[in-house]
Homo-oligomer: A and B are copies of this chain.
Amino acid sequence: MDNLSEPMNDVAHLGHVELLTPRPDESLRFFTDVLGMAVTDRVGQSVFLRGYGDYERHTLKLTESRQAGVAHVAWRTTSEPALARRAAALETAGFGLGWIDGDSGHGRAYRFVDPDGHVMEVYYATERYQAPADQRSRLKNQPQRYSGVGIGVRRIDHVNLLCREVTANRVFMEEKLGFRLREHVILDDATEAAAWISVTPLAHDVAYTLDATRSRGRLHHVAYWVDNREDVLRAADIFLENDVVIESGPSKHAITQAFFLYGFEPGGNRVEIFSSGYLILAPDWEPIVWTQAERARGQAWGLRLPPSFHSYGTPVVEVPASELLHVPVVDPR
């Protein structure tokens, strides 16, 4: 089938992420009071949340669990036929887990794993967020009013996944789901240490980074978008006043030119507040290759990320520093 091998334009965008937390109440307060997100549903041990600009009913599913981590990453397709094509391709390739009936807010979804073992799904049918009267924005093109509470994140932006082998996962996402490589880091020994890929003009919808602990299926971070760099600076003050541990930032990444702030939600997952960056509208974009020497220069303005940035992920894996994979000066975002 020709169209199985031409995945381009079948996946529309990152839909939602399911985060696991061993401290569900505190995690929830973090996302509502500090990030300013709204709760849209509660089912079992899960709470569903959204940024004020997300057009779908939710983009974050927060689920109580023994350990932190990412339970699944969901991609919305461009149509029902596109969904069928992707499901068939994934099934054929042997990565399929099968169909689920759907979940709060969206219809049937085809579940699969990436080569590293992260659970993902593709779906098309979705519930558009319909704001109740007191949540309606005065701006007709905005799904929900801007509440002015906390950081006030606008929409989900991307997810960064740790993995044992970047190339295998990156190529899988390209071939099976139509992602395009935007930027990547190639070490002196030719190892691909990190890759930023997208189906949208964003410089990444997902990034894959080497996991220094050699684990599988771990999360590096999930990122929410704010409109302005000033919002990221303001977010740092809000993190500070709310005793959220700031790992790094605000500062500017060289790769993707993102203006970033990294902190940890109470469950242990790393969260990024993100703005700026650049759009890729070229249909024939040539991936940016960063060498080991170039990465050694730090972030755009010379900032060095702390060691935790290169080894910490969720679920937390305790590995003696001496046994960590040595990835020369790679900033895995």
- Given A150-B148, A183-B141, A282-B55: A252 in contact with B236 (beta carbons within 8 A): yes
- Which of A66-74, A90-98, A99-107, A225-233 participates in binding chain B? A225-233
Asked whether, in the complex, the Cβ of B12 is within 8 Å of the Cβ of A241, the reply is no
A-B contact pairs, 29 of them (CB 8 A): A12-B282, A53-B278, A78-B283, A128-B286, A139-B240, A140-B254, A140-B288, A140-B290, A141-B203, A141-B256, A141-B257, A146-B237, A148-B150, A148-B238, A154-B278, A200-B201, A201-B201, A202-B279, A228-B230, A230-B230, A230-B231, A231-B234, A233-B259, A236-B252, A236-B301, A246-B302, A249-B301, A250-B251, A251-B251
A300 adjacent to chain B (CB < 8 Å): yes
A294 adjacent to chain B (CB < 8 Å): yes
A154 to nearest B CB, angstroms? 8
Asked whether, in the complex, the Cβ of B9 is within 8 Å of the Cβ of A139, the reply is no
Asked whether, in the complex, the Cβ of B138 is within 8 Å of the Cβ of A240, the reply is yes
For residue A215, which residues in chain B have a CB less than 8 angstroms away from its CB? none
A46 adjacent to chain B (CB < 8 Å): no
A281 adjacent to chain B (CB < 8 Å): yes
For residue A282, which residues in chain B have a CB less than 8 angstroms away from its CB? 12-13, 55
Cα separation A138 to B257 with both chains bound (whole Å)? 12
Cα separation A79 to B283 with both chains bound (whole Å)? 8
For residue A255, which residues in chain B have a CB less than 8 angstroms away from its CB? 141
A229 to nearest B CB, angstroms? 6
Cα separation A315 to B218 with both chains bound (whole Å)? 50
A130 to nearest B CB, angstroms? 12
A65 adjacent to chain B (CB < 8 Å): no
A292 adjacent to chain B (CB < 8 Å): no
Residue of B nearest to A15 (CB): B281
Cα separation A250 to B251 with both chains bound (whole Å)? 7
A76 adjacent to chain B (CB < 8 Å): yes
For residue A200, which residues in chain B have a CB less than 8 angstroms away from its CB? 201, 279, 281
Cβ 8 A contact of A138, one of B78, B140, B142, B241: B241
- Given A141-B255, A257-B141, A283-B78: A229 in contact with B233 (beta carbons within 8 A): yes
Asked whether, in the complex, the Cβ of B139 is within 8 Å of the Cβ of A300, the reply is yes
- Given A228-B229, A246-B302, A276-B227: A139 in contact with B236 (beta carbons within 8 A): no
For residue A319, which residues in chain B have a CB less than 8 angstroms away from its CB? none
